[in-house]
Amino acid sequence: MNSTIGLGVPVPKMLPITGAWTLPFTAYLIFLSNRVVYQRIKHKQWIGDQLKSDKDNSGNFENPDPLFLDGRCHLNFLENVPYAFILTAIAELNGADRTILNYAMATFFAMRVGHVELGLRGKDTLGVGRPIGIFGSQGFMAAMAAYTAYLVKGYWGY
């Protein structure tokens, strides 16, 4: 699969797996973002990370501040996903197996969605998805970094 640039020079598509996964991750990011916007409009809270009426409710796990909760869901996603894409792109550029990358990104996506929907938004914000999302994401990062290091082991003489 090639594209052309400039004077018709063929350029191969270099990151098809990483590119393919931008759609579901971006769609879910927009969904999370819209949850925050919904809370802001519903409560007329245009700035800040907590509702004015819930400033002293920050430690309440049974009834969390909805703006704070949706904001944390959004930020937790943004804390992990960009680095996962960087690792995946580096692995792909260094010849990673596309099947492995597809399964890895599918698993990572499921873990991130589970972290929010079955974890933070679960009972008392401590649903089963929370540890799965946290430790699964850390495992993904470690595994993808190790896989990428393995792919370039020849550079170090191994």
Beta bridge partners of 7: none
> pLDDT (tens digit, 9 = 90+) per residue, 43-94?
888 887 787 765 565 556 677 889 899 999 999 999 999 999 999 999 999 9
- What is the pLDDT at residue 8? 67
Query: What pLDDT was estimated at residue 88?
Result: 98
Side chain identity, residue 56: D
Question: Please, are residues 82 and 111 in contact by the beta-carbon 8 Å criterion?
Answer: no
Question: Which tens digit of pLDDT belongs to each residue from 141-153?
Answer: 999 999 999 999 9
The three-state secondary structure class of 112 is helix
Q: Is 76 exposed, middle or buried (0-12, 13-18, 19+ CB in 10 A)?
A: buried
154/157 Cα distance (integer angstroms): 5
